[in-house]
Chains A and B, each alone.
Chain A
Amino acid sequence: MRERLLRLVKNGPERRALESGQVDAVLDAANGKAFLLSDAERASFRARGKIENNLLAALPGEDYRGLFGEFELVTLTAGEVLCEPGDRIRHVYFPNDAHVSVLVVMLDRKALEVGLVGQEGMVGIGLALGAEISSVRVLVQGSGNALRMNAASFREAFGRCPSLQREVHRYAYAKLAEARQTAACNRFHQVEGRLARWLLMTRDRVRSDEFRLTHELLANTLGVRRAGVTNAAGVLQRRKLIGYSRGNIRILDRKGLEAACCACYGIVRSLTR
């Protein structure tokens, strides 16, 4: 229904009004009827009109509007698994204020977090690179909303929209470079520096100095035992860079934390901009 209404209101001032939540009813010439929008529909159109995701915001307005009808606004809840290794990739997600972890799951079920995706990027990039099956687990870390598109629509849009190709390729390269940098970082750098980097990266995704990260997740992220996380967090805490209690992390001194983390943070950050 929503998609049909969007096709009726392709562009122009009507489309802008729809995307700013100022439309009550849409007229359909094909059957001579007016459709009254519900409060939820108005809110959904308004949310879709506001581009929070950086990758989509980088597209020319015309191209974004061309994709608009294919999107569905979804709420992602912390703890929700979007896909498991071996699953067919059914959707791509462009987070607005949600953020998700990408985890590699080993045969013994141990998981290591290898990436974070927030409003700067997308989930399901494999589809753009010709893959159909996910090699990773995607787990929602921070609740929020995201724009979702099904795999077939994304393939079709990706094929016809050069600006989407450009932005997705740019993002894919940044993720590849980030993975290389992180691999080297994990081998050579101290746990404190890596923890500081991960906290700053999380902060950039959630856009808040306060967030929730359990010891277990941090241990999975950094590939160390929980005791290792306790020690490293203790060091940062004693230097008054962070406050940490029962999984709640508060960054007290961002500049200080940047100074404490390894150079990889700056390198990775410059790649994802």
Chain B
Amino acid sequence: MKKNATKPSAGLMAIVVMRLYVAQGAPNSVKAIANLEAICRKHLSDAFKLEIIDVLEFPLRALADGILVTPSLAKLSPSPSAKIVGDLSDRSSVLSALGIKE
């Protein structure tokens, strides 16, 4: 499953590129998607690109990216890259990993 939400960036804001690794339909993954969508809507408006990867379908891809469990969110750019594990309910940790100031 792939979802791309690329839209022109707002002003000088760098586009945040992320990959979210999930197990499709599993409860924590569903929560992680909802939590991340809410954060993106509020803090990134359209300045983000998100790819959602279902590890049940693409396990080798996740393993190649160094993923051990789902849900895991990898922030790829801008640098520094970061990884956050879990259902992304801790909003301040997610914002900090994404380099967003509240």
Contacts and interface: CB of A to CB of B under 8 A. Distances in A.
Bound together: yes
Interface of A: 8-9, 13-14, 16-18, 20-27, 29, 32-34, 36-37, 42
Given A14-B68, A34-B62, A25 B85 contact: no
Contacts of A25: 23, 26, 29, 55-56, 69-70
B63 A9 contact: no
A37 B69 CA distance: 10
Contacts of A9: 68-69
Given A23-B69, A23-B70, A32 B60 contact: yes
B23 A24 contact: yes
Given A13-B84, A14-B85, A22-B87, A27 B63 contact: yes
Contacts of A23: 28, 69-71, 85-86
Interface residues of B, number: 24
Contacts of B63: 27, 29, 32
Interface of B: 22-23, 26-29, 55-56, 59-60, 62-63, 67-72, 83-87, 89
B22 A27 contact: no
B36 to A, nearest CB: 14
A263 B69 CA distance: 53
A20 B86 contact: yes
Of B22, B69, B84, most buried by chain A (CB within 10 Å of CB) is B69
Given A9-B69, A13-B85, 13 more contacts: A9-B68, A13-B86, A16-B85, A17-B86, A22-B28, A23-B86, A24-B69, A25-B29, A26-B69, A27-B59, A27-B62, A32-B60, A36-B26
A10 to B, nearest CB: 9
25 contacts: A13-B83, A13-B84, A14-B85, A16-B86, A17-B69, A17-B85, A18-B69, A22-B28, A22-B71, A22-B87, A22-B89, A23-B28, A23-B69, A23-B85, A23-B86, A24-B28, A24-B70, A24-B71, A25-B23, A25-B26, A26-B68, A27-B63, A29-B63, A36-B23, A37-B26
Contacts of A24: 22-23, 26-29, 69-71
A27 B59 CA distance: 7
Given A14-B68, A25-B23, A34 B55 contact: yes
A34 B59 CA distance: 6
A272 B52 CA distance: 52
8 shortest interchain CB distances as A-B pairs = A24-B26, A25-B23, A22-B86, A17-B86, A24-B23, A17-B85, A34-B59, A13-B85
